[in-house]
A and B are shown apart, each in its own frame.
Chain A
Amino acid sequence: MTPAAILAITLGAAATLAAAAPGSSIEPLPRQLSATGLFVPGSTRVEPTAVAFSPQYPLWSDGTRKRRWIQLPPGASIDASRADAWEFPVGTKLWKEFGYARAIETRLIERVADGSWRFAAYVWSADGQDAVLAPEDGAVVPVSEAPNGRYSVPGRGDCVACHEGSAVPVLGFTALQLSPDRDPLAPHADAKRAGLPDLRTLAASGVLRGLPVELLSHPPRIEAPTPTARAALGYLHGNCGHCHNAGGALNGLELVLAQQAERGAHSAERTLASLLGHSSRFRPHGSEATQRIAADHGGSVLTLRMKTDNPLARMPPLGVQVVDTAGVALIERWIANDLQPALSTFQETSR
């Protein structure tokens, strides 16, 4: 069976998704990406109303090339008065394209009429003409550059697992992620370039309203003692904080890796307090590691779970098959260089 045939069979199941729920006033998801509003009709040229953006602490996605856009309804704006929980208007759409040499998949998040968010993934045809709605439970697409030649398109449950773990399902379009004070050491971040919006340009254009003025005069920045610590905390925020945060579903784990735009120093301290001196509930096989972060090299469950090739132990548990060596190196450098004094203190007191 050819890859194209496999793709056709896989995507055929998506037809059932196109039907709206009985009694629903919400339009069903379009079958084609081209019908979602991202492109100028009849082309794959992005609509001028869909604004490209780039978070400063991107999620590691197995080294795929990513592009992102946001589109608000005409005349609508985002209520940014709660700096860490922006209120997006109904009709907001965000797209994120994943690819290697060519686009493979584009995901859509949309706020619908009842205020809820819906999630969808579209899989591109090999000729790049359009993308088709993927089945609700995801799909596997043959892609030569992907790990083992198999690219996994997330199911709706996978989308929800990450995006509904924090206060707002929009993870990359936030005050901290769009700060003009971008972190130069953030792994895999796009270079700052003209035309990409940031907090100041978004506030000036009226896209954001109610943004606390101090965030314009003093843009959000992770409060850390060294550049390495800042980048490490940012990396954990972008890759782990959507689940491991103070107010989400996993609050009971008491592991806070998300940073806040407001009270930046407080959130950095809170992260350290939840990491240092804490034993891990997870105990990896083949290791004596028991601490979330430990002074001895290789004794931190945090990095062991980032580095393992065991899919049952790997963190993040979704969307990652390839170890992010740059991210691991950053966290290990942070532990070795910045956290040693504090870890030594914990080690001494625990004896």
Chain B
Amino acid sequence: MKRIPLEYAILGIATVATIAVVHPARAQGAADTADKVKRGQYLVSTSACHDCHTPWKMGVKGPEPDMTRALSGHPEGMTLPPAPKLEGPWIMAAAATNTAWSGPWGVSFTANLTPDPETGLGKWTQRNFTETIRTGRHMGRGRLVLPPMPIPVYRNFTDADLEAIFSYLQTIPAIRNRVPEPLPPSASVAAAK
């Protein structure tokens, strides 16, 4: 391992200490951001986000989330056969990845929550995210967010919670994965790519 010269190390420590002393607000801001991201990670991991937004795979102990594709949504390249026709009280079906769901609303595919700018939330703002959860509409203005996304539950998050969640999501690795658009009920019997 390459050693850092002692004088550089002292200079670095002194610089950090100076920033903390001279710019306490900035240091406090960085600490607040870190706390917010940490809380966001906690909320994401306890609010079942990975259950649907991270594709599941078959592990040695059974189904498990594929964390190499964490929160990247329904895999773009996955070809699905037509959704099964259900009867009686059975109204929903899910793909083994837990990222594609069929029901009376059609077929929904879970979104890419990573900060990839073209296929994920990279160009979203906090406002876009908060309004999506509050309104149940894509970016607060577009189409309805479909089941099984638990909008009625998540809209009870506080603004601070949603800021923490979005802040955390912006820090995770960006994964380029263009999730298909949802299919309406009439088309859900057709194969979905």
Residue of B nearest to A165 (CB): B141
Is B187 a contact of A249 with CB atoms below 8 Å?
no
Is B139 a contact of A313 with CB atoms below 8 Å?
no
Give the segment of A80-88, A142-150, A209-217, A280-288 that binds chain B.
A280-288
Is A157 a contact of B182 with CB atoms below 8 Å?
no
**Set of chain B residues within 8 Å of A252, measured between Cβ atoms:** 123-125, 128
Is B183 a contact of A285 with CB atoms below 8 Å?
yes
**Set of chain B residues within 8 Å of A281, measured between Cβ atoms:** 118-119
Residues of B in contact with A, size category: 20 to 34
**Set of chain B residues within 8 Å of A283, measured between Cβ atoms:** 178, 180-181
Q: State whether A161 and B135 are in contact (beta carbons under 8 Å apart), knowing that A249-B140, A252-B123, A283-B178 are contacts in the complex.
A: yes
Is A249 a contact of B131 with CB atoms below 8 Å?
yes
How many residues of chain A have a CB within 8 Å of chain B?
A: 23
**Set of chain A residues within 8 Å of B127, measured between Cβ atoms:** 249
Is A157 a contact of B135 with CB atoms below 8 Å?
yes
B118, B128, B141: the one within 8 Å of A161 (CB):
B141
Q: B118-151, CB under 8 A of A: which get 1 and which 0?
A: 1100011101100100011111111110100000
Residue of A nearest to B136 (CB): A157
Helix, strand, loop or mixed for chain B's interface? loop
Q: State whether A310 and B187 are in contact (beta carbons under 8 Å apart), knowing that A249-B139, A285-B180, A317-B141 are contacts in the complex.
A: yes
Q: State whether A243 and B135 are in contact (beta carbons under 8 Å apart), knowing that A252-B124, A252-B125 are contacts in the complex.
A: no
Q: A244-272, CB under 8 A of B: which get 1 and which 0?
A: 00000111111000000000000000000
**Set of chain B residues within 8 Å of A253, measured between Cβ atoms:** 123
**Set of chain A residues within 8 Å of B140, measured between Cβ atoms:** 161, 249
Q: A residues within 8 Å of B by Cβ?
A: 157, 160-162, 165, 243, 249-254, 281-285, 310-313, 317-318
Would you mind naming 23 contact pairs between A and B with Cβ atoms under 8 Å apart?
Answer: A157-B136, A157-B137, A160-B135, A161-B140, A161-B141, A249-B125, A249-B139, A249-B140, A252-B123, A252-B125, A281-B118, A283-B181, A284-B181, A285-B183, A285-B193, A310-B187, A312-B106, A312-B182, A313-B181, A313-B184, A317-B138, A317-B141, A318-B141
